[in-house]
């Protein structure tokens, strides 16, 4: 369940990410009435089994059942990350056009956000996978400008160049990241989930990893992500 929008007196329109049909918009009629049986299981960012009936414009949600699994606690931090995953999942797909693995990946990321100690971990993996799906994975093995070797040392990241820079191409305007963060990014983009889960990652490293992913995303998406802006505001306020 990626998004919801109140409609009319008591209806609500949902954007669903489905396994077989990609992104689908569907209306839940009367869902804002207290008597509605649809209301409880139709939670934002929830994982549901849904039966849709063909409508004139939008499909109509006829039946819905929550799937078993952890639910995202109602804390601001986790909800903000869930919003980011949902916004990005929506951005990556077109209506009724499934993108391979995106459904599984999104369900996995939302599950991690519900269950993991650090909501950044699952979301970082998802951001990287989304970048990869869009063809914007950053250059991590060599210098993004000259393709020369990257020494085992802290390096600046340039979203414009599409990756980390060697000392020769280094630009003082770009933020520099520790080797730890660069190595974690390599593990993530290699898709090595098993290793990623075993890594002990402090908040500093995860923050750096997230910063790199966010700057790469924002550079390549033509519209900014509202949820990313919200997360940043939340962080500076906290």
Q: At what angle do helices 119-134 and 76-92 cross, to 10 degrees?
A: 10
| CB of residue 216 to Zn ion, shortest distance in Å | 18
Instruction: Identify the H or E element spanning 62.
Output: strand 59-66
Is 169 a binder of Zn ion (CB under 5 A)?
yes
Q: List the 3-7 sheet strands across, edge first.
A: 3-7, 11-18, 22-28, 59-66, 48-53
Instruction: Give 55 or 167: the residue with its C-beta nearer to Zn ion.
Output: 167
Q: Where are the alpha helices (DSSP H) in the chain?
A: 76-92, 102-115, 119-134, 179-189, 193-198, 203-220, 226-237
Is 143 a binder of Zn ion (CB under 5 A)?
yes
Report the residue from 62, 146, 160, 193 that binds Zn ion according to the rule CB under 5 A: 146
Site string for Zn ion, 28-67 (x = CB under 5 A): ----------------------------------------
Instruction: Give 122 or 156: the residue with its C-beta nearer to Zn ion.
Output: 156
Backbone phi, psi, residue 23, to 5°:
-85, 130
CA atoms of 44 and 229, how far apart (whole Å): 20
Instruction: Give 125 or 177: the residue with its C-beta nearer to Zn ion.
Output: 177
Q: Which range binds Zn ion by CB under 5 A, 48-56, 125-133, 147-155, 182-190?
A: 147-155
Q: Which range binds Zn ion by CB under 5 A, 63-71, 99-107, 149-157, 168-176?
A: 168-176
């Amino acid at each position: 369940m990626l998004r919801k929008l109140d409609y009319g007196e008591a209806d609500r329109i949902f954007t669903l990410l489905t396994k077989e049909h990609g992104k689908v918009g569907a209306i839940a009629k009367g869902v804002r009435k207290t008597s509605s049986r649809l209301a409880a299981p139709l939670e934002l960012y929830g994982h549901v089994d849904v039966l849709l009936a063909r409508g004139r414009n939008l499909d109509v949600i006829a039946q819905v059942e929550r799937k078993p699994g952890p639910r995202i606690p109602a804390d601001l931090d986790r909800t903000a990350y869930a919003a980011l995953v949902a916004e990005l999942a929506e951005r990556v797909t077109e209506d009724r056009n499934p993108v391979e693995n995106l459904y599984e990946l999104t369900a996995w990321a939302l599950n991690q956000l519900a269950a993991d100690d650090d909501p950044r971990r699952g979301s970082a993996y998802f951001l990287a996978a989304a970048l990869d799906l869009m063809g914007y994975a950053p250059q991590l093995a060599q210098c993004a400008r000259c393709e020369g070797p990257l020494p085992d040392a802290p390096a600046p990241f340039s979203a414009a160049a599409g990756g980390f820079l060697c000392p020769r191409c280094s630009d003082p305007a770009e933020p520099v990241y520790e080797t730890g963060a660069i190595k974690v990014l390599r593990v993530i983009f290699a898709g090595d989930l098993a290793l990623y889960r075993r890594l002990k990652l402090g908040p500093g490293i995860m923050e750096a990893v997230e910063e790199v992913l966010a700057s790469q995303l924002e550079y390549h998406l033509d519209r900014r992500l509202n949820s990313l802006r919200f997360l940043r505001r939340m962080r500076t306020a906290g």
